[in-house]
Structure 1
Amino acid sequence: MKLKILLFWISYLIALSAVGAAGLFIKKSASDFKASEGILVVVMAVFVLEAGRRYGSRHSVAAAVITAAAGVIFFFPLDIIGLSAVFVLAAVCAAAYVPVKALNDYNETLKDTDRKLEGRKEYLLRVKNASIKRAKQEDDQTEREVKEILPLYGAIKELSRAIKIGEIAEIIVEIMKKTIKNGFKIELEQVSFALIIKNDAGYKVQSSFGYDEEFLKEGEKALVQSVLKNAAKGSDIVYKQDISTEKQAAAVSIVKSVVYIPFYAENQLKGVLFLSSPKPALFTDKQIESLKILANQIAITLEKVYLYEEVEKMSVTDGLTGLYVHRYFQEKLENEIKRAARYGGNMAIVMCDIDFFKTINDTHGHLAGDQILKSMAMILKNNTTAVDTVARYGGEEFIIIMPDTDKDAAHARAVKIRKAVEAHDFRYKELHIKVTISMGVAVYPGDAITRRTLVEKADKALYKAKEAGRNRVVKAG
């Protein structure tokens, strides 16, 4: 820009000199000097206009002043130039300046408007780019949230099909693996979790992932107590991002972040999902919110499963004794015979009958008889294993299924039960009632290979025990 201005003024001075030289030449060759005045006015007016158009009013004013001064210098000393010529020249220069000034102001206004428009354009472009960026970020966030929600949606559908505690435990483990890996994009090697569910015996580890089986076997009780201590304080998820400084971290020094997810139904703690990781702050706040959604659905499903199992239990258990009913026994016996046949094992049944039960009812009343039946059921359950099935066969008769048990072992266990009954102090109110039991033992496949025949064999052995004097155990054969 400075170079252009310099060139302009050089051109201006050259033109001014040329006009002055032309004026001197005309003075010598003509008596009238008006021609040189006209040349000066026209040429210099062009430069004044051009100065204003290109470089602003300051240069236009300077060109006009210099032009006027040059006119005085060139022509005023000459005799032939009149004073009127000077005034004409000044008027012409002034007339040239006025439109130039107006044109320059108009140009400045246009330039200022252009600058404002350009600034507005840049601002709108920045707003547009920011809006596009924000929209893209929101789209990306929505996409991430959808990807996290989809596994949860699938999980809820899977949970709705569970009707057994065992089923729901397996489903929860698979759901957690899918959610953590596919939804949260976290490597499964960084996470371990244990599902603790409440049953009749209390809270137990129902299923787990990432924990050593030997560790769970030896430390299950301590783990359950620690988890319940942290999870039973409220219904919300407890997320500790780093427990390395806490006392309990000393037992498992590699654990940094832990999550306790309680499952409440009807204001009762039904279970807890415990997650741990050697990495601190493993989960984001958004992921914890997703886990809350999942926890609520698991709690609802657990409530449904508990209700289903309670109804099912009511349909297969005797209301008085709490033992399985006759129908369930028959189904269970059929399944155990098939299993023994498939794997080539033994299976025993022991039929039991309370001695002189009718006399007890007639002497002390049916309420006393009911109390004897309930006490007998308790003795039978306390003297059998978890794999055994104890049922009320009918009236004062009971029957026990002993899987993977031969005749001698079944007889020995039956003798132990008989002695426990004989030694028990049966009471009804202030009464002490002496009670004994007779038992018959039969085994598959040694005594029978069908359900009906096996029960008949055990019943005949029981009849022989009663014929022999009661309060004894007789083997079929």
Structure 2
Amino acid sequence: MKNILKQLSLSSRGLRYKLRISFYLMSVLPLLISIYVISTYMLPTIGIKSNIYLLVCISIFVAVSGFFIIKQVIDPIINISSKAKDIARGEVDYVSRAKRDDEIGDLEDALQQLTCRIKNNMRELEKYGQETKEINLEINRKVVILSSLLQVSSFISEGADINETLDLSVEKMLQIGDSDSAFLLLKQEEKILVKSIYGINSDYLLNREFNAASDNIFAKVLKDRKTFALNKKVPPNKMIDEFRRIFALTDAVIAPIYVHGKVFGLAGIGNDRNLEYRDDNFKLIDIFVKQITIAIENDILLNHINRLEVKDALTGLYNSSFIKERLEEEIKRAIISQRPCAFIVLSINRYKEFCANFGSAHAESVLKKIAMIIKSNIGEIDKAARFSDSEFAIVLPEKNKRQAENIAQDMVKKIEYIYGEETDVKKRITLNRAVSENPIDGINATDLINKVKDLLAS
């Protein structure tokens, strides 16, 4: 019975069938009107009567039925059209109101599927947009890090001070993985010194020492000679807990620094946000470690070259490295032979002010002239050197303090006499002198040098 009713119902029929039925019903109205006219004006004349009211009621019923059928067809189309406009404006939350078995139902299903696809596509676009944003951020981070690496390379190639180069390297390491701390530790005999650190607890940890032989995370890296990664996957122990407490970090990467095949120190980064470092972060810290290694090797090589060079290029006197070694040798010889050995330092007063007033070229000519006067006033076994920018040093074997004082006083008088004739007061050179002797003022080179420095400072 239910299937029969469903077959007889218009709701299961298509639009074409419904429109055909509505057309038939609407066509009945003019037919009935025609019957009415015929039955009223024409048939009575021949004696045939008809029920006029019945015809009118039937006409109205047929017309209303056709109207509702048409309305049933048109309303869903208008509704779908309105929803299509909403979708065009970006409102994709369309939900089909009722399930229909005709073309309108198919159209609503298609529209529903279309909106679902649009929603999925929009979600995909949002996802791709977020991924693109993250990729752009990562590219920007790598560009910044690359710029930092180039800056460090520039420092190394220009022969910048090793401490400045190391500090710059550590500062730039902070950019790896948005780290909260970056640090550099150098091995000094049995100690591991925090040479440079930026970020969390930097003031507290700078110059702190750790025992290279004790049970700590740095000693472990030195012993294992490989990069260590600290994260939540690493089981906690006393060594790790101590590191996390002292450095206030949850995750870290610590890499050893090799110089000429030996472990020279450690470089590391860390954060306190439980952010595990990725493989590309490991590669970046390896690059920084290589640059730090190059900087340290260059500094060692430069110091070695300086030790091999014994003469000052400007004055022709010995350099400070040579005179220190020579002083040490002469003191040892004096101790064996039980003879005195004196050490003199002459310092030019207000040398920096002189350079600022008259330029480096004029200042260099003064240094050359003073060097010539010193060389002409020392013996064959005596050695003179340019000790610093504005200081000269003389080692006097077989001379006691009184003899050295007389020699120093004579040199100062000659130099000040030459420059005392300058008409410009600012060009008049004056010197300060200091003398020390072995064994009165010390038994090694360091003692005699510190003694003359204290005298000059006082």
TM-score (norm 2): 0.49
TM-score (norm 1): 0.47
Larger radius of gyration: 1
